[in-house]
Chains A and B, each alone.
Chain A
């Protein structure tokens, strides 16, 4: 009995983070910047899925759309509406860029939910680049569009004069914290959800709690499906909000 329990606990191994390891696709140990890795594979699959949906799915250009075409149109309308409503009409020229971000994140998240898959958006390296790209774009656009008036974003003219320097410091800090929260939110959510599923999967090795663990995995998976979309949506809508600040810096 004791040995059995011991054997079970020895077999009970948790590797919740192993799913995030970056591995070369074709063997070898060294990972150079150009090495094709599982990152390459799953990002490539993301491209393929987006291509299938938005290009192959709409090849009919039908006035009365097929099912896939209406999904593509729905995605287009969803992001377009978001850009127009949140960031304003003059942000429409950024629509392809924002659509790219949304499609990439949403499909990377959903592909990451496939068993045995690799979730590219769970890596800080990926989300940092996405968030920094948004941050730099927004800052550059803000200065190019408004010149020094863009600094009015930090100078709250509606507040009493004495408070303004303090508010300016707070605004400045919050402005530079934006990309940090932007990238941690996405990667953190995705990583945590996947890790929790793996932990429950580890518990499924114990016969007594296996049914409960499987149930928990199922529930967690449902939640993750939701999170996968919501995080993509949140990332995109925050990008729109920042863009609005850059285009119309007045409070």
Chain B
């Protein structure tokens, strides 16, 4: 086992003098330090000259774009609110207008209705007055006819009883009866 470890150490010793830990082989230090410094300087130059300004500007540009977009959105929102207000105003106006039109129409209809009703009433009144007159005429006619019929009937009855009666007497008697 010790032999194996020795062998391993020997194998390593071909490149590294220290047993087991190449990290402690100081002969490689100048080499590593040199290449590290070169690497760090190259990376620093790449980053500070190209990469970081580029990424920084991209981020700033994005931030600017976002800020602009947010401002534009705010503006559009205001516009939308304005439009909504105008729309609501228009709606309210239209509603008031509609109410007015409805009221006007109602008044007009009412007026028409009133006029028609009045006319109809007048016509009805005229018709009923005329009818009344006719009825009165018919009644008067009927009364006259009653007198005539009564006189004739009385004359016929008197004649049938075999007596002759003076027309004037009969008439007077009928008239007296009718009145009575």
Asked whether A61 is an interface residue with its Cβ less than 8 Å from the other chain, the reply is yes
User: Which of B4, B25, B58 is the one whose CB lies under 8 Å from A22?
Assistant: B25
Write the nearest CB–CB distance from A218 to chain B, whole angstroms.
25
List B12-39 residues whose CB lies under 8 Å from chain A. Answer: 12, 14-16, 20-25, 27-39
Given A18-B11, A31-B31: A100 in contact with B59 (beta carbons within 8 A): no
A15:B32 contact, CB within 8 angstroms = no
List B69-116 residues whose CB lies under 8 Å from chain A. Answer: none
Asked whether A240 is an interface residue with its Cβ less than 8 Å from the other chain, the reply is no
A residues near B52, Cβ cutoff 8 Å? 54, 76, 95-96, 99
A63:B44 contact, CB within 8 angstroms = no
Asked whether A239 is an interface residue with its Cβ less than 8 Å from the other chain, the reply is no
B39:A17 contact, CB within 8 angstroms = no
Asked whether A13 is an interface residue with its Cβ less than 8 Å from the other chain, the reply is yes
Cα distance A172–B43 in the bound complex, in angstroms = 33
Q: Is the interface of B mostly helix, strand, loop or mixed?
A: helix
Given A20-B22, A76-B56, A124-B23: A43 in contact with B51 (beta carbons within 8 A): no
A104:B23 contact, CB within 8 angstroms = no
Cα distance A50–B20 in the bound complex, in angstroms = 32
User: Which of B29, B38, B58 is the one whose CB lies under 8 Å from A63?
Assistant: B58
> Which chain A residue shows the least CB distance to B7?
A13
B31:A13 contact, CB within 8 angstroms = no
A21:B12 contact, CB within 8 angstroms = yes
B31:A37 contact, CB within 8 angstroms = yes
B residues near A100, Cβ cutoff 8 Å? 40, 43-44, 47-48
B50:A55 contact, CB within 8 angstroms = yes
Write the nearest CB–CB distance from A171 to chain B, whole angstroms.
30
B residues near A29, Cβ cutoff 8 Å? 14-15
Asked whether A231 is an interface residue with its Cβ less than 8 Å from the other chain, the reply is no
A17:B20 contact, CB within 8 angstroms = yes
A contacts with B, residue count (CB < 8 A): 56
Asked whether A40 is an interface residue with its Cβ less than 8 Å from the other chain, the reply is yes
B residues near A91, Cβ cutoff 8 Å? none
Asked whether A250 is an interface residue with its Cβ less than 8 Å from the other chain, the reply is no
A residues near B56, Cβ cutoff 8 Å? 76
Cα distance A97–B22 in the bound complex, in angstroms = 29
B residues near A125, Cβ cutoff 8 Å? 23, 28-29, 32-33, 36
B48:A96 contact, CB within 8 angstroms = yes
Given A21-B15, A100-B44: A58 in contact with B51 (beta carbons within 8 A): yes
Cα distance A39–B11 in the bound complex, in angstroms = 19
User: Which of A76, A96, A104, A123 is the one whose CB lies under 8 Å from B59?
Assistant: A76
User: Which of A21, A34, A58, A103 is the one whose CB lies under 8 Å from B34?
Assistant: A34
Write the nearest CB–CB distance from A176 to chain B, whole angstroms.
21
User: Which of B14, B24, B46 is the one whose CB lies under 8 Å from A55?
Assistant: B46
Given A17-B12, A22-B31, A47-B46, 15 new contacts (CB under 8 A): A15-B8, A31-B28, A37-B35, A54-B46, A54-B51, A61-B54, A76-B55, A96-B44, A99-B47, A100-B43, A104-B39, A104-B43, A122-B23, A124-B23, A125-B29
Question: Which 7 A-B residue pairs are closest in the complex by CB-CB distance?
Answer: A54-B51, A33-B30, A125-B32, A96-B48, A22-B28, A43-B39, A20-B22
